[in-house]
Amino acid sequence: MKNSLIIALDFTGKEEVNSFLSKFNDEQLFLKVGMELFYQEGPRIVQELKEKGHQIFLDLKLHDIPNTVGKAMERLARLQIDLVNVHAAGGKEMMERALAGLEAGTLSGQKRPHLIGVTQLTSTSEEQMQKEQLISATLKESVLQYASLTKEAGLDGVVCSAFESEEIKRLLGSEFLTVTPGIRTAADEQGDQKRIATPAFAKEAGASAIVVGRSITNDPNPLEKYKQMKSQWEGVLQ
């Protein structure tokens, strides 16, 4: 889990996924299955990717009443994924029930998937947060509050931007996971992301893992781009 570069498979379906992965010469990867792919293909896509030896971050960002999220997590645990998330905004009780559901659903002899809480989405700016969510704190304070709540609920870490990672680790300990999306190289398009950082910046900030989607998936040579970003993340000079 730690030090992983997780590729976001934000594709419309299995065919696109297979064509993308065929360029990686059987390399074992850490892959993120998100809403788009999961809603199209269902749990089977997770099983198929696991059978090929990949690790899976199932990014469904659950956010509902505690009972519903707890029961849903019990089902998701059966998929034997490596990492799964909820929205921290759902509250401490919801997160506690999510964890309990995940534990209840994990088969004996299997490892419980890591559970992390999404703080403020990397597509949210401070201005937007203050205006739309009526939060008068700074964005960093809001992320730290969600991170503390997530830790109190017993979760393994958070999703945040690279800009908040260092402080979260300082406050909540180096073992508390910070998974950071919104990763771009200097040449990449920002798209809808607001808090973007390079792989090297995320490494400096002590991030546990980075999540990269379009920078790799939209590149004409995804394998090369993956290797480039991975070596920047791992601190190898180009």
Q: State the binding site.
A: 10, 32, 59-68, 122, 184, 193, 213-214
Member of 45, 46, 59, 198 binding ligand OMP (CB under 6 A):
59
Q: DSSP E strands: which ranges in the chain?
A: 4-8, 30-33, 55-62, 83-87, 114-118, 157-159, 177-180, 209-212
Q: What amino acid is encoded at 108 in this protein?
A: S
Tell me the per-residue interface mask from 75 to 94 with ligand OMP, x by CB under 6 A, - otherwise: ----------x---------
**Residue 122 within binding range of ligand OMP, rule CB under 6 A:** yes
Segment near ligand OMP (CB under 6 A); pick from 42-50, 68-76, 134-142, 209-217: 209-217
Angstrom CA distances, 19 to 12, 70, 222, stand at 12, 35, 11
Q: Which is nearer to ligand OMP, 61 or 63 (CB)?
A: 61
C-beta closer to ligand OMP: residue 59 or 167: 59
The answer to whether 61 is a known catalytic residue is: yes
* 11's tokens: 């594709």
Please, which residues have CB within 8 angstroms of residue 37's CB and are 6 or more apart in sequence?
9, 10, 11, 12, 13, 17, 45
The yes or no reply on residue 142 touching ligand OMP (CB under 6 A) is: no
- State the binding site for substrate: 10, 32, 59-68, 122, 184, 193, 213-214
Among residues 142, 150, 193, 198, which is the contact residue for ligand OMP, using CB under 6 A? 193
Q: Smallest distance, Å, CB 37 to ligand OMP?
A: 10
Q: Is there a contact between 65 and 96 (Cβ–Cβ < 8 Å)?
A: no
The answer to whether residue 214 forms part of the interface with ligand OMP (CB under 6 A) is yes
Kindly write down the DSSP assignment for every residue of 70-115, as one continuous string. Answer: HHHHHHHHTT--SEEEEEGGG-HHHHHHHHHHHHHHSPTTSPPPEE
Q: Which of 28, 3, 32 lies closest to 17, judged by CA?
A: 32
> What amino acid occupies position 43?
P
Catalytic hit among 14, 50, 61, 71? 61
Structure tokens at 215: 């920078």
Q: Could you list the residues that contact ligand OMP (CB under 6 A)?
A: 8, 10, 34, 59, 61, 85, 118, 121-122, 159, 181-182, 191, 193, 211-215
Give me the active site residues, please.
Answer: 61
